[in-house]
């Protein structure tokens, strides 16, 4: 067997139980370290997993094409908040399609099929006749779940395959051999039924990548070759422990995880998909790293709504797509503001400080910032909010200063004198000093202050 050379497209084939040694050779050529996690994660509990570093970098290799997939109607519905009505889901799906705008960048949307309402929802969105995103099923590695996908008239599904020893041991009370046999049997059944597979390796960032994941994925790829189809490998950072650093070890390093699958098994970029969670604030950085280091596809939900700390927000992926590519390539980012308003209409409280969609995302209160921003919005805005259908906003608080007050007065059709601005400023500061307010003043509050000041100056009849 000819050893694989780093940086080539040669595919490593495993024979005769040499998986570990061959992969160690491959990793050593690049100076890449890895951490055996069979017991390490368990021993670390109850503390969060310790992040080790090996000081060795790998180079980014962004794919030529980047895509976004949606799991709003799957992982998004596993959150505690939402159980969409059919009408709710249809409106959200239309907005998702409007965001894609016929570009084919938001390429797929995953759906549950377990309840009658799930199946009715799938039928309703398919009846819209929209090309993108394509409606696909989601299920466990069970024959009955495959049949649900088939009976719904879908030709593609995400198949959940828990891959960490923690899940195999404590979730299934099983062994590696038994679980692999079950996964392969169910995957073959799906392929025989004409269903394309996106195999989701649940908890891959706490798995034995070298000794278990890579050999198992190779079996999946060989199965796909036998049936003449290309299987997509989905990489879920299920508990959010992954990191975007190329100098961190496996299995935590998203760059190295993508790199090993591409280099060791020759998986093309468009057959690698990342699914992130926000438990450690890393969902978006990890998704960006997945793109930069060779995975074409990123999975997310609208507003990032999902289990525990949520998923990768699709609106963040759209913005980062433009930051990486320099263009939205046909997507319509103005729809982002409409999506946020739709969720508000469903009584979902969008966090005030959430990037892009939160009330404060493009709002300035500090006086010195306002003064500069009024001269040129670029001083404290990195992009024009109009790009996503929003406007910059200035609010008045205890640190806003006279410039903010003058701006507010002019925005409300006045040409204020310095005395009026100064009087309003002193009255607002008095309110805060007296502890009457602990948040920015609303337009109604400011109107009351204005009327009070003007009465005191005897300018009102």
How does pLDDT run across 29-61, given as a tens digit for each residue? 544 444 444 566 677 788 888 887 777 778 899
3-state SS assignment for residue 100: helix
Residue % of the chain over a pLDDT of 70: 85
Q: pLDDT grade, residue 148 (50/70/90)?
A: very high
Which residues on neighbouring strands pair with residue 363, listed in sequence order? 393
Q: pLDDT grade, residue 325 (50/70/90)?
A: very high
For the segment 75-104, what is each residue's pLDDT rounded down to a tens digit? Answer: 988 775 667 889 999 999 999 999 999 999
443, pLDDT greater than 90: no
pLDDT value for 377? 65
Q: Containing H/E element for 41?
A: helix 40-44
Tokens read off for 7: 């940086």
Q: pLDDT grade, residue 14 (50/70/90)?
A: very low
Cβ of 418: how many Cβ atoms within 10 Å? 9
Q: pLDDT grade, residue 408 (50/70/90)?
A: confident
pLDDT value for 445? 85
Lowest-confidence region among 47-56, 324-333, 416-425: 47-56
The CATH label, of 3.20.20.20, 3.20.20.70, 3.40.50.720, 3.40.50.10800, for the domain at 19-345 is 3.20.20.70
More confident site: 407 or 67: 67
pLDDT value for 169? 92
- Looking at every residue in the chain, the average pLDDT score rounds to 87
* CB contact at 8 A, 370 and 346: no
Tokens read off for 42: 């368990």
d(CA 373, CA 364): 9
Q: Containing H/E element for 414?
A: none
Q: pLDDT grade, residue 12 (50/70/90)?
A: very low
pLDDT value for 50? 85
Half-sphere exposure (Cβ direction) of 336: Cα atoms closer than 13 Å:
27
**b/e code 302-335 from CB counts within 10 Å (16+ = b):** bbbbbbeebbbbbbbbbbbbbeeeeebeebbbeb
For the segment 341-386, what is each residue's pLDDT rounded down to a tens digit? Answer: 999 999 899 998 999 999 888 777 655 556 665 666 666 677 888 9
* CB contact at 8 A, 207 and 235: no
Strands 363-364 and 134-140: unpaired
* CB contact at 8 A, 232 and 273: yes
d(CA 214, CA 260): 8
316, pLDDT greater than 90: yes
Cβ of 54: how many Cβ atoms within 10 Å? 18
d(CA 245, CA 377): 33
Architecture of the structural domain at 363-456: Orthogonal Bundle (1.10)
17, pLDDT greater than 70: no
Domain boundaries, given as residue ranges, for the chain: 19-345, 363-456
Lowest-confidence region among 218-227, 373-382, 437-446: 373-382
d(CA 77, CA 149): 18
Domains 19-345 and 363-456 share a fold: no
For the segment 156-203, what is each residue's pLDDT rounded down to a tens digit? Answer: 999 999 999 999 999 999 999 999 999 999 999 999 999 999 999 999
d(CA 113, CA 133): 17
Write down the residue that tokens 């200035």 correspond to. Answer: 394
Rg (alpha carbons) of the chain, rounded to whole number: 26
pLDDT value for 40? 64
d(CA 123, CA 139): 17
């Amino acid at each position: 067997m000819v050893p694989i050379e780093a940086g080539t497209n040669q595919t490593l084939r495993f024979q005769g139980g040499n998986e570990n040694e061959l992969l160690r050779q491959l990793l050593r050529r690049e100076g890449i370290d890895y951490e055996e996690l069979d017991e390490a994660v368990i021993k670390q509990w109850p503390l969060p997993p310790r992040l080790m570093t090996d000081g060795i970098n790998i180079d980014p290799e962004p794919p030529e094409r980047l895509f976004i997939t949606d799991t709003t109607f799957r992982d998004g519905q596993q959150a505690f908040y939402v159980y969409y009505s059919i009408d709710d889901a249809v409106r959200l799906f239309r907005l998702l399609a409007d965001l894609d705008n016929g570009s084919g960048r938001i390429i797929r949307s995953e759906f549950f099929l377990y309840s009658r309402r799930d199946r009715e929802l799938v039928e309703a969105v398919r009846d819209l006749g929209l090309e993108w995103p394509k409606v696909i099923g989601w299920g466990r590695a069970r024959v009955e779940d495959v049949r649900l996908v088939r009976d719904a008239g879908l030709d593609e599904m995400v198949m959940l395959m828990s891959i960490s020893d923690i899940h195999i041991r404590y979730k299934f009370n099983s062994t590696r051999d038994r679980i692999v046999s079950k996964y392969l049997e169910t995957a073959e059944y799906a392929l025989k039924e004409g269903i394309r597979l996106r195999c989701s390796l649940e908890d891959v960032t706490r798995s034995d990548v070298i000794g278990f994941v890579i050999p198992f994925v190779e079996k999946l790829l060989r199965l796909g070759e036998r049936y003449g189809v290309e299987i997509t490998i989905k990489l879920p950072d299920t508990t959010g422990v992954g990191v975007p650093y190329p100098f961190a070890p496996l299995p935590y390093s998203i760059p190295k995880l993508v790199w090993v699958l591409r280099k060791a098994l020759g998986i093309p970029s468009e057959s690698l998909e990342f699914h992130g969670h926000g438990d450690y604030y890393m969902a978006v950085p990890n998704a960006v790293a997945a793109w930069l280091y060779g995975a074409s596809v990123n999975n997310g939900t609208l507003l990032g709504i999902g289990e525990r700390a949520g998923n990768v927000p699709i609106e963040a992926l759209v913005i980062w797509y433009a930051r990486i590519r320099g263009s939205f390539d046909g997507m319509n980012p103005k729809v982002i503001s409409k999506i946020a308003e739709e969720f508000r209409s469903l009584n979902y409280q969008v966090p005030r400080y959430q990037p892009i969609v939160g009330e404060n995302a493009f709002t300035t209160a500090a006086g010195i910032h306002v003064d500069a921003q009024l001269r040129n919005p670029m001083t404290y805005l990195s992009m024009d909010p109009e790009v996503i259908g929003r406007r910059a906003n200035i609010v008045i608080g205890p640190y806003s200063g006279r410039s903010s007050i003058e701006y507010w007065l002019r925005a409300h059709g006045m040409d204020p004198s310095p005395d009026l601005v100064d009087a309003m400023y002193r009255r607002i500061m008095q309110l805060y000093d007296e502890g009457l307010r602990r948040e920015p003043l609303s337009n109604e509050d400011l109107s009351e202050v204005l009327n009070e000041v003007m009465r005191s100056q005897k300018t009102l009849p």
